[in-house]
A and B are shown apart, each in its own frame.
Chain A
Amino acid sequence: AQKITQTQPGMFVQEKEAVTLDCTYDTSDPSYGLFWYKQPSSGEMIFLIYQGSYDQQNATEGRYSLNFQKARKSANLVISASQLGDSAMYFCAMREALYGGSQGNLIFGKGTKLSVKP
Chain B
Amino acid sequence: DVKVTQSSRYLVKRTGEKVFLECVQDMDHENMFWYRQDPGLGLRLIYFSYDVKMKEKGDIPEGYSVSREKKERFSLILESASTNQTSMYLCASSAPRKAVGEDEQFFGPGTRLTVL
Contact = CB atoms under 8 A, between A and B. Distances in A.
Interface of A: 4, 9, 31-35, 37, 42-47, 50-53, 91, 93, 95-97, 100, 102-106, 108-111
A23 to B, nearest CB: 12
B50 A103 contact: yes
B7 to A, nearest CB: 14
Contact of B31 (A32, A34, A42, A103): A103
Interface in B20-46: 31, 33, 35, 40-45
Interface of B: 9, 31, 33, 35, 40-45, 48, 50, 56, 58, 88, 90, 92, 94, 96, 99-110, 112
Given A103-B48, A104-B94, A52 B101 contact: yes
CB-based closest 6 A-B pairs: A33-B101, A45-B107, A97-B100, A43-B110, A110-B42, A108-B43
A45 B42 contact: no
B15 to A, nearest CB: 24
B9 to A, nearest CB: 8
B6 to A, nearest CB: 10
A26 B1 CA distance: 33
Contacts of B56: 103
B106 A91 contact: no
Contacts of B41: 110
Nearest to B104: A47
Given A32-B100, A35-B101, A52-B100, A110 B109 contact: no
Contacts of B92: 45
Nearest to A98: B100
